[in-house]
């Protein structure tokens, strides 16, 4: 029987964080889901930087309003999602944004009991 | 070599300020939860563990399991807490249950690490709060 204080902890997960100009997040999420991501969390931010100083004329075209996208993915799938997002967000162009991924020590979410039972207990 | 550019800079340099250690072990705990629960979880963190080094912001969540979640995004709140490594597991568990992550479509909680941080000291627990 499932206990109230039982947490199914998942390891080998990676958090991909992508910062893009406002309006680009939907394209990023589409690319990530096509690549196999299960979901994404998006929020707004305002990015300040050296765009006017170092990008010249290009700096005018960079919107300071940003969207930040969190994608949690299994570590063996994360590189694929990372690359698809990189291409979709055109991050090879200066000023378009940035992306990074960091290993998570653990994560937890709702895991249906039948799924947890299929993988057995790991005490 | 650092050369103060103004009197204000030099004044800052001469004031004895204790900086946080160069390297430490901290945990960064991030929780994506349904909108509206953030303030209650923050209050639970303060009351039960004395954690005040946390912040909450709004977000929208997109899932892929159903067409509805692909078309409409859910309103979410994201809580980020930074705590000393020895408190990481306890705070992780507390957030998991306080945010109600143990229910379908509620969100997730994840834990990473940081090697330098400040302002993560825990408040002393107040007896009335615990009771």
Residue B101's CATH number: 3.30.70.120
Residues of B in CB contact (< 8 Å) with A are: 27, 30, 32, 57-65, 69-70, 73, 76, 78, 92-93, 96-97, 101-113
The verdict on a CB contact (< 8 Å) between A40 and B62 is yes
For chain B, what is the domain count?
1
DSSP assigned state of B44:
H
Contacts of A103 in chain B (CB under 8 A): 112
Residue B84 lies in a domain: yes
Contacts of B70 in chain A (CB under 8 A): 33
Q: How many CB pairs under 8 A join A and B?
A: 81
pLDDT in the model for residue B5: 64
Q: By the CB < 8 Å criterion, does A114 face chain B?
A: no
pLDDT beyond 70 at B44: yes
Residue B81 lies in a domain: yes
The answer to which of A66-75, A87-96, B62-71, B110-119 has the lowest mean pLDDT is B62-71
The span from the CA of A86 to the CA of A77, in Å, is 15
Q: CA of A44: which chain B residue's CA is closest?
A: B59
The span from the CA of A6 to the CA of A94, in Å, is 46
The span from the CA of B91 to the CA of B125, in Å, is 14
Residue B49 lies in a domain: yes
Domains identified in chain A and CATH numbers: 15-100 (3.30.70.120)
When pLDDT is averaged across residues B2-15 and rounded to a whole number, the result is: 61
Name the strand (E) or helix (H) holding A100.
strand A97-104
Angle, vertex CA B22, rays to CA B17 and CA B26, nearest 5 = 110
DSSP assigned state of A81:
H
Residue B66 lies in a domain: yes
Q: CA of B110: which chain A residue's CA is closest?
A: A107
The ipTM assigned to this model is 0.84
**Size (chain B), residues:** 131
pLDDT beyond 80 at B1: no
Q: By the CB < 8 Å criterion, does A70 face chain B?
A: yes
Residue B107 lies in a domain: yes
What is the domain range of residue B48?
34-116
What does the pLDDT profile of chain A (123 residues) look like in tens digits? Answer: 445 568 999 999 999 999 999 999 999 999 999 999 999 999 999 877 766 566 676 667 677 899 999 999 999 999 999 999 999 999 999 888 999 999 999 999 999 888 888 877 655
Percent of chain B past pLDDT 90, that is, above it, reads 66
Residue B82 lies in a domain: yes
The verdict on a CB contact (< 8 Å) between B61 and A39 is yes
Beta bridge partners of B82: B28
Residue B94 lies in a domain: yes
When pLDDT is averaged across residues B55-65 and rounded to a whole number, the result is: 86
Q: Please answer whether residues A31 and A87 qualify as being in contact, where contact means their C-beta atoms are separated by less than 8 angstroms.
A: yes
Q: CA of B96: which chain A residue's CA is closest?
A: A108
The verdict on a CB contact (< 8 Å) between A39 and B62 is yes
Q: Please answer whether residues A5 and B20 qualify as being in contact, where contact means their C-beta atoms are separated by less than 8 angstroms.
A: no
């Amino acid at each position: 029987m499932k206990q109230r204080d039982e947490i199914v902890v998942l390891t080998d997960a990676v958090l991909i964080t992508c910062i893009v100009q406002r309006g680009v997040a939907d394209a990023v999420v589409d690319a990530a889901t096509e690549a196999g991501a299960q979901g994404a969390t998006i929020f707004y931010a305002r990015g300040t930087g050296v765009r006017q100083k170092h990008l010249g004329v290009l700096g005018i075209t960079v919107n300071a309003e940003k969207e930040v996208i969190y994608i949690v993915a299994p570590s063996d799938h994360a590189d694929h999602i990372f690359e698809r997002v990189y291409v979709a967000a055109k991050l090879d162009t200066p000023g378009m944004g940035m992306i990074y991924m960091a290993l998570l020590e653990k994560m937890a979410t709702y895991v249906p009991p039948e799924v947890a039972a299929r993988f057995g207990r790991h005490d | 070599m650092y050369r103060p550019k103004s009197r204000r800079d030099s004044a800052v340099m001469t004031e004895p300020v204790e900086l946080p250690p160069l390297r430490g072990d901290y945990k960064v705990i991030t929780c994506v939860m349904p909108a509206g629960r953030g303030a209650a979880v923050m209050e639970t963190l303060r009351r039960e563990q004395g954690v005040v080094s946390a912040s909450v912001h709004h977000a929208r969540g997109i899932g892929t399991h159903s067409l509805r979640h692909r078309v409409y995004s859910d309103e979410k709140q994201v809580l980020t807490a930074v705590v000393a490594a020895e408190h990481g597991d306890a705070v992780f568990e507390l957030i998991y249950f306080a945010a109600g992550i143990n229910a379908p479509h509620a969100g997730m909680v994840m834990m990473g690490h940081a090697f330098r941080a400040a302002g993560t000291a825990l408040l002393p627990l107040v007896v009335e709060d615990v009771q």
